[in-house]
């Protein structure tokens, strides 16, 4: 494997620092692999990046996605029925990275990695040009083996913090993580909300007190106005369900891709407005 594929966590850090240098938040898009189809999912990830996202999270669909609301569950279900395998997720990452040169992360529950093998998963993700993983359900105190393999392959490990996390717990989580911290703005599952606001702002403030890592806010952000509101206090704005909904609502794949590209452009303007 060519060396330039190894160690894209540095690219992630540079991208987030670059957004900060432009006095704006980074736009992080989330899309599940394999939706609306295996090939269409890879195209959708590229469309989000080409449309204006700085970073993309590729979801590894799971049959029991505890953190996700109905929109993403529907997409995951379609992907799994379509025969999606981990190798297709790796292909999606590779295509997105090679087409755009932007950082691509995988967001996954722990069980599929555990079954696949940690060494194999981290090696293949690094070879595909991946920048790291977001692991919402891996307890930090059980993450040492994963982190050792991830570091060896130059991958970031992003953990999720929530408003319920105590300050002591926040410190433990941020000390173990790398790349950025994913701040879940609300208790509960992913989906669009009317306002993200105060609870998220408080969580970002508390998280920043424990770490120099960038803090990106997700769960509930769906419009350019939300993005501007969150960009006023966060280093990055994570949008998932709103992209998935555009694909679900589209009459066909091509118009779905156009809708993803368009939403990315609108949100990219939002993160540059900063509330």
Catalytic residues: 57, 68
Helix, coil or strand: residue 271: helix
Please say whether the beta carbons of 89 and 96 come within 8 A. Answer: no
Specify the length of the chain in residues: 275
Distance CA(34)–CA(147), nearest Å, equals 27
Quickly list H helices, the chain: 9-21, 38-51, 70-81, 86-100, 110-116, 118-127, 144-152, 167-176, 197-208, 224-231, 241-249, 253-273
Instruction: Give the angle subtended at the CA of 54 by the CAs of 52 and 58, to the nearest 5°.
Output: 100
CA neighbours closer than 13 Å in the CB half-sphere of residue 197: 4
Give the residue among 72, 49, 108, 13 at the shortest CA–CA distance from 222.
Answer: 72
In angstroms, what CA-CA distances link 188 with 66, 99, 182, 219?
A: 9, 35, 14, 9
* Residue 188 in tokens: 């509960």
Distance CA(90)–CA(14), nearest Å, equals 22
CA neighbours closer than 13 Å in the CB half-sphere of residue 3: 0
């Amino acid at each position: 494997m060519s060396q330039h594929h190894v160690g894209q966590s540095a690219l992630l850090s540079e991208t987030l620092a670059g957004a900060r240098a432009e006095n704006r938040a980074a736009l992080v898009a989330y899309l599940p692999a394999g939706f609306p189809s295996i090939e269409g999912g890879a195209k959708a990830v590229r469309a989000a990046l080409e449309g204006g996202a700085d970073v993309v999270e590729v979801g590894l669909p799971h049959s029991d996605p505890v953190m996700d609301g109905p929109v993403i569950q529907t997409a995951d279900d379609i992907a799994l029925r379509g025969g999606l395998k981990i190798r297709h997720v790796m292909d999606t990452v590779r295509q997105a990275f090679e087409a755009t040169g932007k950082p691509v992360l995988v967001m996954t529950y722990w069980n599929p990695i555990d079954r696949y093998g940690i060494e194999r998963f981290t090696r293949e993700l690094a070879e595909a040009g991946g920048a790291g993983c977001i692991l919402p359900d891996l307890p930090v105190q059980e993450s040492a083996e994963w982190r050792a393999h991830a570091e060896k392959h130059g991958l970031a490990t992003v953990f999720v913090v929530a408003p319920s996390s105590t300050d002591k717990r926040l410190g433990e989580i941020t000390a173990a993580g790398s790349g950025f911290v994913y701040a879940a703005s609300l208790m509960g599952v992913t989906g669009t909300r009317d306002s993200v606001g105060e609870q998220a702002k408080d969580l970002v403030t508390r998280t920043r007190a424990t770490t120099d890592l960038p803090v990106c806010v997700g769960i509930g952000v769906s419009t350019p106005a939300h993005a501007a509101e969150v960009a006023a206090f966060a280093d990055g704005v994570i949008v998932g369900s709103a992209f998935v909904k555009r694909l679900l609502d589209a009459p066909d794949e091509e118009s779905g891709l156009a809708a993803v590209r368009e939403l990315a452009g609108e949100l990219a303007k939002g993160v540059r407005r900063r509330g």
